[in-house]
Each structure stands twice: as structure tokens, then as C-alpha cells.
Amino acid sequence: TANTGAATLNVNGLGAIAIKKDVSVALDTGDILASQIVEVVYDGTNFQMLNQRPLRYDTGQLSLPAAGATTTVAHGLGKVPTVIHGVLLLPSGTEGGWTADQEMNIFNTWHSGGGIGIGVSADATNLFITRISTTLLGLSTTGASFNITEASWRVKVRAFIL
């Protein structure tokens, strides 16, 4: 199971010894995930957790949500990500100067005309990919906006705990 705050380890009859991160900091809830293998070293006082974050989750390529809809994806990180990075991806072909496998960053308020049309957010369990508008605007490689052909593009979100 995942830890629910400070944790201890009892090895070779030492008794319950605290596991610390960053030398002297007690573990927070979710620092050790269920089934995670944790590497520690005993420093004479505490066990030091060696394999700490960053944790990362990648949705892979997903279809764009329908207008006004939200796609929810469980991230499994155990807490709210500290960084969320969303991109639109053109898997094949070309459009607006973009070519296959190039990624266009998603900013929730990117374009002065009201946003690219997609926003990303998260809680401790899920990523939320929300389609804000009917028309999806992209920014071409020349800086001009264009309407995205929905069937041609995918969305990908990466979440990190640093």
C-alpha cells in the first residue's frame, strides 16, 4: 500500500527507524506508491530514500474531446501533479505548417481570440482535458492562427510530481 505520511522501516532488529527524504524531511502521503520499489540507505540515524521523484505520467495520444466535453484520465501519481504539460499532436500529414509528430503546446488561455479551445487541469487522481470551444484554433509555424481539422489531431498530456 502507499504510505500515508511519515514512514518507518525495521531491519535487522534496529527497531522502527524513520525513512527521510532530502536528508531530514519526513515523507508526505503518497511519496511511496503502492507496489513501488523503494531504495534506502541507513545513515546511522535514519533511512534515506534514494529513489525519489520526479514521478511522471503520460496519457499517450488521445482523441480530442467533443465540444463542451471533458475527457478524464486517471494518472496514478497519488497526489496533485506539480507540472502539467498538454500538447496537440499531428500523428500524420501536414496542417498549418505542422508536420507529423510535431507537438503544439496547449496553454489554457493561449490565443487572444479565446484560447486554443482545450484546457488541461488535474486533481490528486485524474487529469481533465476539457474542450472549451467548438472551433479549435492553432498557431501555425508562421504565427498565423488556423482552424484545426479535428480528425487529424490528437491530444497528449504529461503530468509530473517534482
Instruction: Please indicate whether residue 107 or residue 4 has the higher confidence score (pLDDT).
Output: 4
Q: What angle do CA 50, 53, 56 make, to 5 degrees?
A: 145
pLDDT exceeds cutoff 70 at 115: no
Contacts of 144 (CB under 8 A, 6+ apart): 96
| Each residue's pLDDT tens digit, 29-66 | 888 888 888 999 999 999 999 987 567 899 999 999 98
| 3-class secondary structure, 160 | strand
Percent of the chain topping pLDDT 90: 38
Q: What is the sign, positive or negative, of the torsion defined by CA atoms of 42, 43, 49, 51? A: negative
Q: In sequence order, which residues have a C-beta less than 8 Å from that of residue 135 and are 6 or more positions away?
A: 117, 147
For the ranges 73-87, 104-118, 126-140, the maximum mean pLDDT occurs at: 73-87
